[in-house]
């Protein structure tokens, strides 16, 4: 069973060797820019490649401003701080996400609240969010107060799962009516669009990731994107240890973070951004191949984006019939040297979040038991 799928994947990648889930591709000016960076001696957090990388990401996403960080989790942490998330506040997010989403909330000493996802997008459900807020909160003095905990709900963090855009415009509209900021976790969705607008640009702030397994990589790395100049300036300041500009003095006026992206990593990012359009075309081609294959299989469903949405297909995903079938598929493919992975465990099932408040999570549980990622490296 599933041998035809394994054969299909091996034919795509034209190899009998181990096939990873998602490996980076370096097909452009990566070595040239890295050598140039080394020759300049500006390999740390100051250098022209940082500025160029920020500018290229801002232009590509249609954001006015972009601020590079050492990784996507750091970007999300700062994004929450800029959204005025303070100690003992609450932040709503989805339970079906990578742990970094919830970790960033904890870094602020805030409390995550988990609201269910939609089955089709695997992203935060506007309907479930609205129902939760209507039943569990009150607006008092312009703030959204959780009726049971009496804490302020400061932000909502929706995430675009595997690059598939969720119903972000609806979530933003709901949050605006409840006086809640939206910090958009677009870590996985560089090159994804909802109604021709790039993911990460709907909320107050968006965040991206350039980890080694992302569509493009800087080794590690992240980015905050926003249209708010003041927030962008604050992001740059907070991520560079809050050093007050001066020709030689070391003066810092607040406790801040050394979250700067090194120029060396940014050099890699500049080259990767040049290749991004071709990477996205290749990933669309790969997704079409998978889609064609699984249309012939009644009991395996290939996940496609919503109408009027465009996915970067960072990780291609399929839905199997049951947990038993999911586990069987994972074992057979991995035993055969074709790397596949399940979707994440629900955040509320992890020990550090086991006491978090949750809405009804039926959809998240359903998906947790059925979703598998397929090899998705650029072909």
The model's pLDDT over 105-150, given as tens digits with 9 standing for 90+, comes to: 999 999 999 999 999 999 999 999 999 999 999 999 999 999 999 9
b/e for 108-120, b at 16 or more Cβ within 10 A?
Answer: bebbbbbbbbbee
| Mean model confidence pLDDT for the chain | 97
User: Do both 153 and 163 map to the same domain?
Assistant: yes
User: Do both 148 and 40 map to the same domain?
Assistant: yes
Within a domain: residue 62?
Answer: yes
Within a domain: residue 63?
Answer: yes
C-alpha distance from residue 172 to each of 199, 242, 247, 376 (Å) = 12, 30, 42, 30
Within a domain: residue 179?
Answer: yes
Give the number of domains in the chain: 2
Within a domain: residue 367?
Answer: no
Q: What is the mean pLDDT of residues 37-55?
A: 95
User: Do both 156 and 209 map to the same domain?
Assistant: yes
The CATH code of the domain that includes 91 is 3.40.640.10
Within a domain: residue 46?
Answer: yes
Q: Encoding tokens for residue 361?
A: 């999570």
User: Do both 172 and 89 map to the same domain?
Assistant: yes
Return the pLDDT at 45.
87
Q: Encoding tokens for residue 330?
A: 């994972």
Distance, CA of 211 to chain centre: 10
User: Do both 170 and 267 map to the same domain?
Assistant: yes
Return the pLDDT at 168.
98
Return the pLDDT at 1.
77
User: Do both 170 and 223 map to the same domain?
Assistant: yes
How far apart (Å, rounded) are the C-alpha atoms in residues 169 and 219? Answer: 31
Within a domain: residue 57?
Answer: yes
Tokens 């998330």, residue?
A: 85
User: Do both 155 and 7 map to the same domain?
Assistant: no
Domain that holds residue 98: 30-274
Within a domain: residue 350?
Answer: no
User: Do both 217 and 186 map to the same domain?
Assistant: yes
User: Do both 176 and 289 map to the same domain?
Assistant: no
């Amino acid at each position: 069973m599933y041998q035809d799928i394994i054969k299909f994947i091996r034919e795509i990648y034209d190899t009998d060797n181990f096939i990873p889930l998602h490996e980076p591709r370096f097909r452009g000016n990566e070595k040239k820019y890295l050598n140039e960076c080394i020759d300049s001696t500006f390999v740390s957090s100051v250098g022209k490649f940082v500025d160029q990388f920020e500018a290229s990401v801002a232009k590509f996403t249609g954001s006015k401003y972009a601020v590079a960080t050492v990784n996507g989790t750091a970007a999300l942490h700062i994004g929450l701080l800029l959204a005025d998330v303070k100690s003992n506040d609450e932040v709503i997010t989805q339970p079906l996400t990578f742990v970094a989403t919830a970790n960033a909330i904890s870094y602020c000493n805030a409390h995550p609240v988990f609201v269910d996802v939609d089955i089709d997008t695997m992203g935060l459900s506007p309907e479930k969010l609205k129902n939760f807020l209507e039943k569990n909160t009150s607006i008092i003095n312009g703030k959204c107060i959780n009726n049971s905990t009496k804490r302020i709900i400061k932000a909502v963090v929706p995430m675009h799962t595997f690059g598939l855009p969720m119903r972000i415009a609806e979530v933003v509209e709901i949050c605006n009516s409840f006086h809640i900021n939206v910090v958009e976790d677009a870590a996985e969705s560089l090159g994804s669009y909802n109604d021709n607008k790039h993911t990460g640009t709907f909320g107050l702030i968006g965040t991206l990731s350039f980890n080694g397994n992302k569509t493009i990589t800087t080794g590690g790395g992240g980015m905050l994107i926003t249209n708010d100049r003041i927030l962008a300036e604050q992001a740059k300041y907070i991520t560079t240890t809050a050093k007050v500009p001066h020709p030689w003095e070391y003066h810092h006026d607040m406790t801040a973070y050394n979250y700067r992206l090194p120029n060396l990593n940014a050099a890699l990012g500049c080259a990767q951004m040049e290749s991004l359009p071709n990477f996205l075309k290749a990933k669309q081609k790969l997704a079409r191949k998978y889609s064609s294959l699984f249309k012939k299989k009644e009991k395996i469903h290939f996940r496609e984006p919503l109408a009027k949405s465009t996915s970067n297909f960072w990780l291609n995903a399929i839905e199997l019939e049951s947990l038993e079938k999911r586990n069987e598929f994972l074992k057979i493919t991995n035993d055969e040297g074709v790397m596949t992975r399940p979707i994440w465990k629900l955040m509320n099932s992890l020990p550090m979040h086991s006491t978090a408040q949750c809405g009804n999570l039926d959809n998240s549980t359903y998906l947790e038991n059925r979703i598998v990622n397929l090899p998705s490296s650029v072909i």
